Each structure stands twice: as structure tokens, then as C-alpha cells.
Amino acid sequence: MLARSALLSASRSAARPAARPMAARAMSSIIDPTMGLTEEQCQIFETSRAFAKAEMGPRAYELDMKETELPRDLFKAAGELGFGGVYADPDFGGAGMTRMDAALIFEALSTVDVSTSAFISIHNMALYILDSFGSQELKQKYLPSLTTMDHVASYCLTEPGAGSDAGNLATTAKRDGKNWKLNGSKQFISNAGGSDIYIVMARTGGPGPSGISAFVVDANDAVTKKGLSFGKKERKVGWNSQPTRAVIMEDMLIPAENLIGEEGKGFKYAMKALDGGRVNIAASSVGGAQGALETTLDYVGQRKQFGKTISTFQNTQFRLAEMATALTSSRLMVRHAATLLDEGSPMAPAVCAMAKIEATEKCFDICDQAMQLHGGYGYLREYTVQQFQRDLRVHRILEGTNEIMRLIVGRELLK
């Protein structure tokens, strides 16, 4: 059984790749992401980053360029460190870690590969619903293989006609003897066609959020797969390591016991999962910005114009200072939101929304400035800074658009 100790043990025993010179400098500077952390938290961050460099880094360019399916061996390696069930119940193979731990993990992974890290976050978001609200039988059946990442999961809420207005989704689930029969489609689903399990929100009752329930859809089930199909693979600006397709359900049958929790509570479960998902995606933005800034510090220290390195120009130093300040403030807000989630604070949903706004917008700007400081080279695919910029752009849209985040914050303020 994987637990928190597995990740901490790996930090002491795993062979680590040699760090890039710039990465080492960043870890002992004012942008050191481990400043203020406990020794145990530092171990979690450093182990996660070492894993990303060793396992994700060598594949990141190819996965982005060729847009291939996510490699299962990478998932299994992630599962061995507990990344497949970060905050899932240890009784079912989960690591039983905190939301702060998760924020550290996804930030660290994203310093190397934002896209693949983000899918692991989505997998964990789907697991959260099953682990928190599913029956013991469902958890026993599905969680062990999901926490090891022998199987992977996708989260299915968004529809072609219900994005921000998710409470008005149209997918239906109706009882059919010992089964539920689902009809409808889900849009923009990460790893659709590649995942084994889909956590699907569908309408079992009347209009609005109270008529929505959550279900486990097992794509490997012989009966279920007869009614399950997938749309074309979308061509995206970023997040190219993970395929995105529509999930199409046509008279798709699933066992009655695949209902998660109570009928009519699915929307509530989905929203609670999104609180953590927003922190994770914000943490991924911070990690991507960290990676972009480190790369830029390296570049400006070597690139020469007018007979001197461009790092000596005051304009460059001012930009770097602004980038470092925005990075640090974003990181602090994300970790504050994660702490409130761990404490069960009633303010957590609004603060998670604030953290997502701050981190996804400021960190995208950091990556954009990093590209600018690279000049023409930053626009070339061979330079990783452009991939950070492309991958971070979608973070302002998914897990709830930043416009919806502002609505959540504004309503909380005016209560």
C-alpha cells in the first residue's frame, strides 16, 4: 500500500539526475519554491521535481510535438510514488496526503511538463469524487487500480451546450431495470478515449443542479462500451501531451450500483472536486512560471547584445524583478488556499477561486515576458519557454473560467 512515507522515502533513496546549473541556482535564491516549507514538505517537493526531470522531461518535447497518447509506463512510475491517489484513502492504496502536499507536488511536476502534470491532477480530481462519496463496494472495485495508475480516470462535467452553465447540463441517466441508461455527450474531456474510468455527471431529476447525479463509467466493461464512443481528437494550442475528445453516450448501460453517493447530489460533488482542482491547476501555473523564469535567467546570463550579456541591462533586471515578485505572490496565495481546504474553512471555495485568478493570470504573464526576453529564439519550438506559455494559457479557462471565479468571489464578498 502506498502512503505518504513512500514519497518521503524516495526523496532519500532515489537516484536523482544532475540538475541544470540554473535550476540549482534558483533553488538557493529568492525564487526558491521550498522557502518557508517544513523539512518534510521540502522532501515532497524535491522528490516530485526529481521525478519530473527523470521521467517527464525526456519525453516532454516529443509528446508536445507529436501529440501522442499519454504513456502508460509514465503513469505507473507516477503511481509508485503515490501521485495516482494523492489525497485518496490509504485503505484503498491512496497516499492520504493533504491539499498542501498536492499543491507542492503539482507545482514541482509542472516546472518540467505542465500538460502531463495537469492530467495527473485531473485524474486525482476524478478520484476525489469516488473516494469521498462512493460506496465501499465501488471504492474497493476501482480505487486500488486507479491509485497505482494501472488504470486512469477522466472527469466529465462540461458539455457542448453547458460550459460555465454546468448546472444546466443535458446528459440524462434513467433507470433501466438493474442498470442506468445514459444519453448525451461531454466536451473537452482530457484523455478521452485513453482513460479506463470516467466520472460522469448526468441528469437524473428535474432542471438545475439538484437534478444532477454522479456515476462511474467503466470503459472496459463489455456492456457499457457498446454505448460509449469518442469524438475526434482535438488540435489544441497547448496541453498537447494529453488527448482531448468528446465522450459520447448513446443508450449506454452501466450497473445501478455505479451511482456515486446519493441521487441528486452529483453537482455538489463535482463542485467540491473543483475546489481542489482549482488549487492544483493554479499550482501547475506557478510551476510552469518557475520553469520559464529559471530558463530565462539562464538565457539572459548568456545572450550577448551590444557587447554585453542582456542580464546587465536595467530593463532586463526590472522585468525579471516583476516576474519574480508575481511568481512569489502567486505561490503564497495558492498555498494559502490549499491550507484553507485542509482546514475545512467555509472561505475555502472563494479563496481557491481567488488563487486561481491570481496564479493563472500572473503566471501566464510571466511566461509571456519570458518569451519576450528570449527574443526570436523564444518563438522556436526547440526552446521550452514557448511550451510553458502555450500550456498555461488554458488554465484561465478550465476548472471554471476566471470570469466565473470572479463571480464566486464577488458573491462571497456581498453575502
Residues catalogued as catalytic: 399
Residue with cell 532586463: 316
**Length of the chain, in residues:** 415
DSSP string over 322-333: HHHHHHHHHHHH
Q: Are 29 and 325 in contact (CB under 8 A)?
A: no
Interhelix angle 385-393/57-66, nearest 10 degrees? 60
Taking CA atoms, 330 is separated from 62, 125, 136, 243, 336, in Å, by 30, 22, 38, 28, 10
Q: Within 10 A of 332 (CB to CB), how many other CB atoms are there?
A: 15
- The dihedrals phi and psi of 309, each to the nearest 5 degrees, come to -65, 145
Based on its alpha-carbon atoms, the radius of gyration of the chain, rounded to whole angstroms, reads 21
Q: Which of 415, 235, 395, 250 is nearest to 330 (CA)?
A: 395
Q: Quick check: helix, strand or coil at residue 334? A: helix
